Structure 1
C-alpha cells in the first residue's frame, strides 16, 4: 500500500438518511458545518444523505419509483412512437 495518500484526520460523524430519518455513527473525513446530538449524549458533525442502505431498493428489496416533476411522463411523451 502506498504511504501518505490516505487522510489521517478521521473523526466520528453522524450520517442521516433524509428519506427515512435513520441515522448511524461512523468515521469520516468529509467536511460539514452542521452538528447533531447522538444517543450517547455527545455532539458530532452531521452529514445528510439522500439515500443509504436503509432506503436503497437494492438493500431493502422494495422497488420504489420516485417520480419527481413528472420526469417519467416527459420521457414517455418525448420518446413515444408516433402512430
Structure 2
C-alpha cells in the first residue's frame, strides 16, 4: 500500500451559523479555530446552511411560481395529445 495516500481524518465540529446547532463528527476538513470537547481537540468549521436550517428539512419550504412556469408549460404543451399506436 502506498504511503500518505489517504488524507488526514480529524475530529471536527460543524456549526450552523443561523441556528447555532453543532454537529460533532470526523472529517478531512479542518480549520485554524479549535475547541476542546470531552478532552479531544476539534476543528470548528462554520456552515452557512445545514439540515437544521435548510427549508427542505425544516418543513418551511414554500413553492413560489414567480414566472408562471406552470401556466407557460400548459400553454406550450397542454394542447398536445398523444396519438394512438399506428395501425400496420
TM-score normalised by the chain length of structure 2 = 0.57
2:45 is equivalent to residue 47 of structure 1? yes
**Unaligned ranges ≥5, structure 2:** 63-88
Question: Which residue is equivalent to 1:26?
Answer: 25
Partners of 1:63 and 1:37 in 2: CA distance? 36
Q: Secondary structure at the match of 1:43?
A: strand
- Between the aligned partners of 1:7 and 1:47, the Cα distance in structure 2 is 21
Q: Deviations over 1:19-78 (max 9, x none)?
A: 10000111111131011233x2433110000010011011111137xxxxxxxxxxxxxx
Is this contact kept in 2: 1:11–1:27, CA < 8 A? yes
1:45 partner SS: strand
The corresponding residue for 1:59 is 57
Q: CA RMSD in A?
A: 2.3
1:75 is matched with: none
Higher-Rg member (1/2): 2
Quick one: distance in 1 between partners of 2:20 and 2:13?
12
Q: How many equivalent residue pairs? A: 60
TM-score, normalised to structure 1's length? 0.60
